[in-house]
Amino acid sequence: MGNFLLLCILVLSLNYFLYDQMIFYLLNFLVIPAFMFLHYLLSIQPKNTSSFFIPHTIIRFGLKKLRVSVNQIVLLFMYCTRLFSRNIDEQKRKVWSKVFYGLLLSIPLLFIVIVLLMSSDLYFTTILTQIPSWFTLLSVNTLQDILLILLFGCLFYGVFQAAFVYTESLTSNNPDQIKAFDQIIVMTLLVLLNLVYLFYLVIQFAYFFNGDLAEGFTYAEYARRGFFELVTITMINLTVTVFILHFVKQDHTFYKKIIQILLSILLGSSLLILISAFMRLHLYEQAYGFTFTRILVHTFIIFLFVIIIYTIIKVWLQRLSLLHFYFLSSLIFYCSINIINIDSIVVDRNLERYKLTGKIDLYYLNEMSDTGKLGLIELHELNSELEGLENLLQEIKEERLQTQSDKWQAYNLTKQELDRKLQELTIN
């Protein structure tokens, strides 16, 4: 599991080099450190922990290690203080140590106060921004780099020191104590819930799979209703199923079989609604074109479809692990949408639609990542006479000349390809 998680981290990091999708840049800025910390916890978990992937177990273990990390950083500061003050008498050392801790505590408060003062007085802001220029040896960027090095250095020191500090074994609660809900109560709930779903499906079945709009609905309303059903499946049906599988007693064989049948009906209804949502969204795309969000929702529907199929199998084969599969499939899904370049799919689909219908949204392609701008160049090769296209490409070309960066950290294959094609592009 640790090696697989490390592979996911590498795939997500590769996204910064291959593509320029801002949404994944922002998400991965949070996700990658979280995966790194989880990988760290996996590498130091107690060997006798059999249920480490139960969420509360991971959280409890992670919080313990974070507390130990903070303690290690404090011990480091105390050691450095004693080291630099070993030639100072005890009384002065106490005074200086208190001054030092006072400085540390004042930093966040001073930051807030200075920001507020800068926002209230323009002249004060001007004076403060000129202060770095008074120092000839250190620039603002150098000071920022030093502070970041110190901050992350202390962070890594504390985290890795915590790996060598013993943490007691993490044992999950007794399964018999967890499964505290009665089977008859759950059966009543499932019967009522299934009746509602079956009644809904019977009424809607006339237009569920015929590919046409129901009378009185617009395309937008049709798609929104499909997405609401998708959210309903995610938030209600799967949640109810997981809750029942983990917290309901299984001490009566007949009741157990009835619950399994009822859960299967519930999940089967969810699959039908998923198929309906998928078809509705496809119908919406045929009318209004393809966007990043619509393609992403399509992939998410497929992901939920796989999740529900596995959950149905889990209902009848209880030895299977549900949380492990959810975790692994979520990792695979998230890494897949990072690496397949959804923007490229959006551009290709819109170009195919343009060849068939002559309709395309130039300005949406321009608002996308550089992949969308590459699509505009490809569209120019198909039809250079398209209204507004050449003016848009000229604006892109001028903007790129002003915003090009020569930093190696910013190197990106998609950006490099766009710059090359813009240089080769001939605009009348």
- DSSP class of residue 233 equals I
pLDDT of the residue at 175? 47
Max CA pair span of the chain = 89
Query: Which pair of structure tokens corresponds to residue 333?
Result: 């899904």
Query: Which pair of structure tokens corresponds to residue 310?
Result: 């596995």
Report the C-alpha gap between 42 and 46 in whole angstroms.
9
Report the C-alpha gap between 24 and 372 in whole angstroms.
16
Query: Which pair of structure tokens corresponds to residue 79?
Result: 């050691």
Report the C-alpha gap between 169 and 49 in whole angstroms.
7
Query: Which pair of structure tokens corresponds to residue 171?
Result: 């044992």
pLDDT of the residue at 204? 63
Report the C-alpha gap between 16 and 411 in whole angstroms.
9
Q: What is the DSSP string of 270-288?
A: HHHHHHHHHHHHHHHHHHH
Query: Which pair of structure tokens corresponds to residue 396?
Result: 């892109």
pLDDT of the residue at 89? 67
Report the C-alpha gap between 85 and 87 in whole angstroms.
5
Report the C-alpha gap between 108 and 103 in whole angstroms.
10
Cβ atoms 12, 360 nearer than 8 A = no
181 beta partners? 248
- DSSP class of residue 403 equals H
Mean pLDDT, each 10-residue run in order, the chain (428 residues): 88 88 88 88 69 65 81 79 68 70 74 72 68 55 76 82 67 51 82 83 61 56 59 78 81 82 90 80 79 87 91 89 87 92 91 88 88 89 84 85 71 86 80
Polymer length in residues for the chain:
428
Report the C-alpha gap between 161 and 231 in whole angstroms.
43
Burial class (CB in 10 A: 0-12, 13-18, 19+), 233: buried
Give the torsion through C-alpha atoms of 172, 176, 178, 181, to 10 deg: 170
Cα dihedral sign, 363-367-370-371? negative
